[in-house]
Amino acid sequence: MSIVFYVLAGLTVAGALAAVALKNTVHCALALTVAFAGLALLFLELDAQFAGFAQILIYIGAVAILVVFAILLTRGSETPKDTVYSNKWLLGLVTAAAVFAVLGWAVLHSTEALPHETAKPAVTVMDIGNALMGRYVLPLEIVALLLTAALIGAVIVAMHEKEGAR
Amino acid sequence: MTPLTGYLLVAALLFAIGLAGALTRRNAILVLIGIELMLNAANLNLIAFWRYGPHPEALTGMMFAIFSIAVAAAEAAVGLGLVIQIYRHTRTTDLDQMNRMKG
């Protein structure tokens, strides 16, 4: 385990913790961006350059900006006077802790069964492009259709109220 | 501790944090942030298994992660559109106050 991994893992986990725990919603969105950036760097550390840069472009460039827009459009930036946590927050916290305990136990007790190839994968973006246009062309087309449907759906959902005003 | 174990533990921790956020926050947008964190933890698992598993040249885990990123982008767009529409309707994003099926 290299020191780089520990630094990036700490950055990502700290960003994620701040994203779900801070009171101010705008601060949460900014902490979420830090977590996404940490994940992108972890992908780069794993020699997955394409996934890392796709993560930066899509999550930091699009999803985080979308979240900020939604927060500002819904006046969520105003910190509520009472608590920001749900009524059943203790139950949720216990559930999450139990899930982490089970996952961590499973990972730590299956160390022998896990693969540990050490050779760096020699995969270029060209290989990924060839695979997307060859073996994975059907999933690619389905994702294209899904993204089109999501785009149209999001526009229709968001503009529904306007029909009376026109 | 092998490198793969470290990445899997980080992904499990991220998933738990996302789940805690989705289950404990009142604001609907913060719940969506929690769901995004859970999706990202799954992506980290896929990429880590692709890197340390046999036959990385087959690109299976990498492709899974790329398609999962694309689907997560669609999910975020529709989810935030729904949150904005609900806010227009009820003037709140507080999930504890959204307790009616009927508008």
Residue B37 near residue B14 (C-beta atoms within 8 A): yes
A-facing residues of B in 9-48 (CB < 8 A) are: 9-10, 12-27, 29-30, 32-34, 36-37, 40, 43-44, 47-48
Q: For residue B70, give the nearest of A32, A35, A147 by CB distance.
A: A147
Nearest residue of B to residue A141, measured between CA atoms: B67
pLDDT tens by residue, A119-148 = 787 888 888 899 999 999 999 999 999 999
Write the Ramachandran bin of A117: left for phi over 0, alpha for psi from -120 to 50, otherwise beta.
beta
Per the structure block, which two tokens stand in for B39? 């999706």
Please give the CATH topology (third level) of the domain spanning B3-96.
Helix Hairpins (1.10.287)
Q: B66–A54: do the CB atoms touch at under 8 Å?
A: yes
Cα–Cα distances in Å, from B72 out to A1, A40, A88, B40?
30, 15, 27, 9
Which pLDDT value is given to residue B59?
86
Helix (H) or strand (E) holding A136: none
Long-range contacts of A66-72 (CB under 8 A, 24+ apart): A66/B76, A66/B77, A66/B80, A67/A29, A67/A32, A67/B29, A67/B32, A67/B33, A67/B76, A67/B80, A68/A26, A68/A29, A69/B80, A70/B29, A70/B80, A70/B83, A70/B84, A71/A25, A71/A26, A71/A29, A71/B29, A72/A26
**Cβ separation A121–B4 shorter than 8 A:** no
pLDDT for the residue numbered A160: 62
What does the alpha-carbon distance between residue B82 and residue B86 come to, in Å, rounded to a whole number? 6
Q: Using an 8 Å CB-CB cutoff, list chain A residues near B62.
A: 48, 50-51, 123, 128
Interface mutation target, options B4, B5, B17, chain A, most CBs of A under 10 Å: B17
Lowest mean pLDDT among A44-48, A52-56, A84-88, A151-155: A84-88
Q: Within the 81-100 window of chain B, which residues sit less than 8 Å (CB to CB) from chain A?
A: 81-85, 87-89, 93-96
The CA distance from A17 to A100, in Å, is 14
Report the alpha-carbon distance of residue B38 to residue B16 in Å, rounded: 8
Residue A83 main-chain phi, psi, to 5 deg: -70, 155
Q: How far apart are CA A34 and CA A22, in angstroms?
A: 14
* A26 neighbors B27 (Cβ within 8 angstroms): no
Q: What's the CA gap between A127 and B69, in Å, rounded?
A: 19
- Which residue type, as a one-letter code, is found at position A158? A
In Å, how far is B33's CA from the nearest CA of chain A?
7
Residue range B46-102, pLDDT digits in tens:
999 998 888 888 888 899 999 999 999 999 988 988 888 888 888 877 877 777 776
pLDDT of residue A45 exceeding 60, the answer is yes
CB-hemisphere CA count at 13 Å for B46? 19
The domain limits of chain B are 3-96
When mean pLDDT is compared across A42-46, B26-30, B86-90, B95-99, the lowest value belongs to: B95-99
What is the ipTM score, two decimals?
0.91
User: Is the predicted pLDDT of residue A166 greater than 50, yes or no?
Assistant: no
pLDDT at A161: 60
Query: Which residue carries 């986990």 as its tokens?
Result: A13
The CATH number of domain A1-79, selected from 3.80.10.10, 3.40.50.720, 3.50.50.60, 1.20.120.1200: 1.20.120.1200
